[in-house]
């Protein structure tokens, strides 16, 4: 069976995307998903997205890590699937969809997607890092020169170390550039390497920097290796509401793949 796939990227965080409203994609075949995401033997991506029907919203987003495991929320993936839904004619400028961590609202205008993330009411501030869940678990750690930092090896040690162990956490290293601008590099679990950008990661960094009083702004710019994203929020005490992740989402190319030959 031949299926059409689409390749999307949001600030360099790239995804293989399928329209699965017919429910003919084998979601239980982790090795097949892993092969599709492989950059030498497959299409190549940081993860895989399925757009499916929803009984209550415009559509459902299902996200898989590059290793084939079912993922938690993916911010850049969420922005890309909104762009895909717009491409399919499912949505116009405003949408609401279901994801791993619940309902998300979003708007798309001229290729810029503004995605509402989950409310945050628990930010754990430790001596040398901050931990919070923005739809996926994130460890945030400040460093002096993030451009020269060994993200892969140090990120891997933290991802598998205490207190995260096998379940793991995404690991973000951040450097202050100005009072409302930060540079971020992220080691992502499931990819098991640094990615050019991580949507839930920059969201975690923005809130972590505000919670630790390294910024007083509620509109924050995050420079990643793949581009610039904006996070804005409303802060009420320890609660962070109306959290939005804003940035571009681009269709790179589309093609077909013979599933029977690639399973």
Active site residues: 74, 198
Distance CA 226, CA 70 (A): 24
What is the spatial distance between Cα 54 and Cα 60, in angstroms, rounded to a whole number?
5
Cβ pair 173, 149 in contact under 8 A: yes
Crossing angle of helices 75-88 and 199-211, in 10° steps, is 130
For residue 215, give the DSSP letter: -
* Among candidate residues 133, 134, 51, the one with its CA nearest the CA of residue 95: 51
Helix (H) / strand (E) element for 125: namely: strand 124-125
- The contacts of residue 209 (CB under 8 Å, 6+ apart) are 174, 176, 182, 215, 220
* Residue among 229, 244, 256 at smallest CA distance from 9: 229
Cα(135)–Cα(201) distance, integer angstroms: 10
């Amino acid at each position: 069976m031949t299926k059409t796939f689409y390749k999307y990227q949001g600030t360099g965080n790239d995804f293989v995307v399928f329209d699965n409203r017919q429910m003919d994609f084998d979601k239980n075949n982790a090795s097949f998903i892993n092969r599709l995401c492989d950059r030498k033997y497959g299409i190549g991506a940081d993860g895989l997205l399925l757009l499916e029907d929803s009984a209550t919203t415009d559509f459902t987003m299902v996200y898989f890590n590059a290793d084939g495991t079912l993922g938690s929320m993916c911010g850049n993936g969420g922005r890309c699937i909104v762009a895909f839904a717009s491409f399919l004619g499912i949505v116009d400028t405003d949408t609401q969809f279901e994801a791993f961590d619940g309902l998300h609202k979003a708007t798309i205008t001229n290729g810029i997607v503004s995605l509402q993330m989950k409310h945050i009411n628990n930010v754990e501030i430790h001596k040398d890092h901050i931990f919070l869940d923005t739809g996926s678990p994130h460890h945030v750690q400040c460093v002096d020169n993030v451009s020269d930092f060994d993200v892969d090896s140090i990120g891997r040690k933290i991802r598998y170390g205490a207190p995260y162990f096998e379940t793991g956490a995404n690991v973000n290293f951040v450097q202050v550039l100005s009072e409302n601008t930060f540079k971020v590099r992220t080691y992502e679990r499931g990819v098991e390497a640094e990615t050019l950008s991580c949507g839930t990661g920059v969201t975690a960094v923005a809130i972590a920097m505000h919670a630790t009083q390294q910024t007083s702004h509620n509109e924050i710019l995050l420079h990643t290796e793949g581009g610039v994203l904006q996070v804005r929020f409303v802060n009420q005490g320890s609660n962070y509401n109306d959290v939005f992740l804003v940035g571009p989402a681009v269709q790179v190319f589309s093609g077909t793949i013979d599933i029977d030959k690639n399973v």
